[in-house]
Amino acid sequence: MKKPVVLLIVLGGLVGFALFYGKLRDKNLNSARLVGVKDRATLFTDLPSKDIRQVVIREGKNTVTLVVEGDKWVVKERENYPAAYEKLSKAVAAVSNLKLLSKQTVGKSVLGEVGLLPPGEAGPESTGLQVELKDEKGEVLGSFVAGKSVESTGGASSGNFMGGAGQQRWIRNPKDGDTVWLTGESLFELQADPKEWLDKAFIDVQEIKSVTITPPNTADGWSASRKDLQNPFLLTDAKPGEELDTAKADVLNRALSAVVFNDVLTKEQGTPEFMKGATKVKLETFKGFTYEVQILEKKEGDAEPKYFLTVQVSGNFPKERKPAADEKPEDKKRLDDEFAATGKLLEEKLAKEKASEGKVFEVSSYGVSDLLKKRTEVLRDKSAEGAPGSAESPAAGALGAAPPPLLKAPAAPMIPAAPAPAPVPASTPAPAVEEAKPKAKETPKPVEKPAEAPKAAEKPAAAPEVKSAPAEAPKVEAPKAPEEAKPAEAPKAP
């Protein structure tokens, strides 16, 4: 009787311990409910997004400040260069509706372990990404620190609608005290790098009419132009014997077209001394734009070269439309409206591109490096043309250099040989032979018997001439040849 009682007591103890442990775990993991922070779906519940005028992002030693200047957002760390508004707008909307998965209360000493301390309060391993949203006076409307990422084990709270495993990230709102949260958002778009927030709209050179390139060594410079878009570029300063290589000059069609810049240098970096040794390039387009550009290539060690560029833009557009000689009155208003709309677009493009003046840009090589070619690199190499073995003048005996194919060669000398039988009638039986000769010409292929004609006196000489007849074989009617050839044996009768 005692044994069952002991078992019941042990079992009850185990159940009690399990309940106690479960309550203790819930207290440690979810005790935020006990300190007044209620569960909620989003990080911010009352963020006044319309009042946001500054966004400050910090991570490690990097900081970017996006602020409203006049009627546009700019990047403060890049001399107030225009910011990428669409990207910034999406980022603020995402932060305003940042969804939460779960919460936990931790001590300040634990914040560093999950990377939730603000930058500057500890080393990079303990600090995270800090975002502050401010109004025009600089007062903080909302802020948070995003810490380390963790791999979820799946389930309904994983943030994955399929319930599988996924990436989650620790996040903390300072107003929540010791409460921290997990979110399913990576927040990768919130980078503390100023160049990542620059408006990358830049100059776009189209329909180039002429180009003049002046490197530091002016002897390496060159210029080219074309009459219209259908004609190739030609050297405008060609010396005797010089000719532009049209294949190499084709790169001018994409010069500074859709060029992309990576960063904008500050005034301290982009000094006149910095651009010393740059190549000067002047581009004129059929639309009336003129671009005066300086391009500098810099290479350090084994690294890929970097390209830097400055630009000045001007435009000269027609103010009035010239009507066509056969223009109809009913078409005048439509054509005038189209002309005015086109002019407006050109003026807007000019104003937008002039905003790039006075700054030094780090640009990609596409559409830029080709403008650094020296004069000798764009000229047609005529020394290779006509050289032995070249495609233009093949060497004697090379394939393609010989006369017509060999199959046709024997036929050529046989054509003039056909009239040769004329002198043969000098022999005694001339009348008989003269009648046979014309007929012999018409035989396409004599029978093997005529080949034995040498046994006859003198006349067999005519038999070899018959072999020359195949040159005119197409004119002969083949069925008659065997019958007409019989009189040729007349010399055997004596």
Task: Report the phi/psi class of residue 491: left, alpha or beta, with left for phi > 0 and alpha for psi in -120 to 50.
Answer: alpha
pLDDT band at 23 (very low <50, low <70, confident <90, very high): low
What are the backbone dihedrals phi and psi of residue 95, each rounded to the nearest 5 degrees, phi first? -65, -40
Minimum mean pLDDT range among 63-67, 74-78, 252-256, 306-310:
252-256
Minimum mean pLDDT range among 72-86, 90-104, 433-447:
433-447
- Model confidence at 459: pLDDT above 50: no
pLDDT band at 400 (very low <50, low <70, confident <90, very high): very low
- On the CB side of 78, CA atoms within 13 Å amount to 27
How many CB atoms are located within 10 Å of the residue 295 CB?
22
Higher pLDDT, 381 or 463: 381
**Mean pLDDT highest for which of 27-36, 61-70, 386-395?**
61-70
Higher pLDDT, 97 or 163: 97
Minimum mean pLDDT range among 4-8, 234-238, 269-273:
4-8
Q: Can you tell me which residue has the tokens 């903390």?
A: 172
Q: In what order do the strands lie in the sheet with 140-151?
A: 81-82, 72-75, 62-69, 54-59, 129-134, 140-151, 167-172, 179-183, 102-105
- Model confidence at 98: pLDDT above 80: yes
Task: List Cα–Cα distances, 401 to 395, 408, 468, in angstroms.
Answer: 7, 16, 29
pLDDT tens-digit series, residues 248-302:
888 888 888 878 899 999 999 999 899 999 999 999 999 999 999 999 999 888 8
Distance from C-alpha of 483 to C-alpha of 152, rounded to nearest angstrom: 105
Higher pLDDT, 329 or 182: 182
pLDDT band at 151 (very low <50, low <70, confident <90, very high): confident
How many CB atoms are located within 10 Å of the residue 426 CB?
8
Distance from C-alpha of 221 to C-alpha of 373, rounded to nearest angstrom: 9
Beta-bridged to residue 277, according to DSSP, are: none
Distance from C-alpha of 220 to C-alpha of 376, rounded to nearest angstrom: 7
- Model confidence at 17: pLDDT above 80: no
- Cβ atoms 308, 368 nearer than 8 A: no
Token pair, residue 104, equals 């936990």
At 383 the pLDDT is 72
pTM for the complete prediction? 0.66
- Model confidence at 368: pLDDT above 50: yes
pLDDT band at 387 (very low <50, low <70, confident <90, very high): low
Q: Which residues contact 215 (CB under 8 A, 6 or more apart)?
A: 221, 279, 280, 372, 374
Q: Which residues contact 73 (CB under 8 A, 6 or more apart)?
A: 66, 67, 82, 83, 85, 88
pLDDT band at 35 (very low <50, low <70, confident <90, very high): low
- Model confidence at 30: pLDDT above 70: no
Q: Which of 338, 311, 305, 309 is nearest to 323 (CA)?
A: 338
What does the mean pLDDT of the chain come to?
Answer: 78
Minimum mean pLDDT range among 6-10, 245-249, 289-293, 353-357:
6-10
Higher pLDDT, 420 or 212: 212
- Cβ atoms 179, 171 nearer than 8 A: no
Which residue ranges make up each domain of the chain?
A: 39-197, 208-321+334-378
pLDDT band at 433 (very low <50, low <70, confident <90, very high): very low
Distance from C-alpha of 209 to C-alpha of 284, rounded to nearest angstrom: 5
Minimum mean pLDDT range among 66-70, 171-175, 322-326:
322-326
At 6 the pLDDT is 61
At 408 the pLDDT is 44
- Cβ atoms 142, 120 nearer than 8 A: no
Higher pLDDT, 157 or 75: 75
Higher pLDDT, 279 or 477: 279
pLDDT band at 473 (very low <50, low <70, confident <90, very high): very low
At 107 the pLDDT is 82
- Model confidence at 318: pLDDT above 70: yes
- Model confidence at 13: pLDDT above 80: no
- On the CB side of 323, CA atoms within 13 Å amount to 12
